[in-house]
Amino acid sequence: MARRDVVTTGSEELDSRLGGGIPVPSLLLVEGDHGTGKSVVVQQIAYGALKSGLRVYYITTESTVRELLLQAKRVSFDMTNYFLKGFLKIFPVHMEGARWAKNIAKLLLQIVGNFMVKTMSDWDLFIVDSFSVLAVYASTSTVLDFLTIAKNVVSQDKLVILSVHPGVLSEEIMIRARSVCDGYIRLRAMEIGGMMIKAMEVVKLRGALGPVDSLIAFDVDPAFGIKVLPLSLAKA
């Protein structure tokens, strides 16, 4: 494959606000609480990558294969054909309700890291949604080892995206993760003029091809996916 400088999100307006798209190579951290659009943002990037002919590996701790495809389809990201043709591979990790969850979870992050390295020639975009669920029982050294592995992997013209829930991992780990990652996007819900919207705060995006908006207001439209709102926002 020809070398790429960016991965498109599949949305021209969002790409424009992000300076042209998501830079490659890049380790991107997407942080957001429930209801802030974290999974939709990740799926938007995955869909844009697939439409560009890239191969995507998607580790999900929150959905089955069927649930993920249906969830994406509801917001116009129909990735079923890409899945059937092998461009998208989904690997669900389910631990909720299992009595052995804590013991198994201690090992999962290391397993995912080894898997990411061994399959590196088979994917262009590797997503871990959510990284915080896999890392919550892992030791600090295991988490930092994983981040080091991910940094080494992306240096081979790869894009790795980690989604995290705030407050799950220790602040020490989060500070290191935010520092190590090339990109850091923080999502939050906010009220503007009596209307609740979602906001994408782009804390950093190294390697962007053009100017990057530091705060992007958006909503999730079932017909379009992420819809950037024409609001001029300033950091609170």
Dist. CA 59–CA 62, nearest whole Å: 9
Average pLDDT, the chain: 88
Q: What angle do CA 178, 77, 5 make, to 5 degrees?
A: 50
Which of 83 and 135 is assigned the larger pLDDT? 83
Predicted local distance difference test score (pLDDT) of residue 95: 54
CA 152/CA 148 separation, integer angstroms: 6
Please, which residues bridge with residue 196 across strands? 191
Contact 41, 201 (CB under 8 A): no
For 150-194, what is each residue's pLDDT tens digit?
999 999 999 999 999 998 888 989 999 999 999 999 999 887 777
Structure confidence by residue, pLDDT tens digits, 52-108: 999 999 999 888 999 999 999 998 899 999 999 999 999 998 655 555 556 666 788
3-class SS at 109?
helix
Q: Phi first, then psi: give them for residue 227, nearest 5 degrees.
A: -115, 110
3-state DSSP call for residue 61? coil
pLDDT value of position 234: 41
Q: Give pLDDT tens digits for 199-214.
A: 999 999 999 999 999 9
Superfamily of domain 6-228: P-loop containing nucleotide triphosphate hydrolases (3.40.50.300)
Query: Which residues lie closer than 8 Å to 167 by C-beta, 6 or more apart?
Result: none
Q: Give me the pLDDT at residue 99, please.
A: 53
- Residue 166, Cβ neighbours under 10 Å: how many? 14
Q: Where are the domains of the chain?
A: 6-228
Those residues whose C-beta lies under 8 Å from the C-beta of residue 125, and which sit 6 or more positions away, are: 7, 45, 46, 49, 54, 55, 56, 57, 158, 159, 160, 161
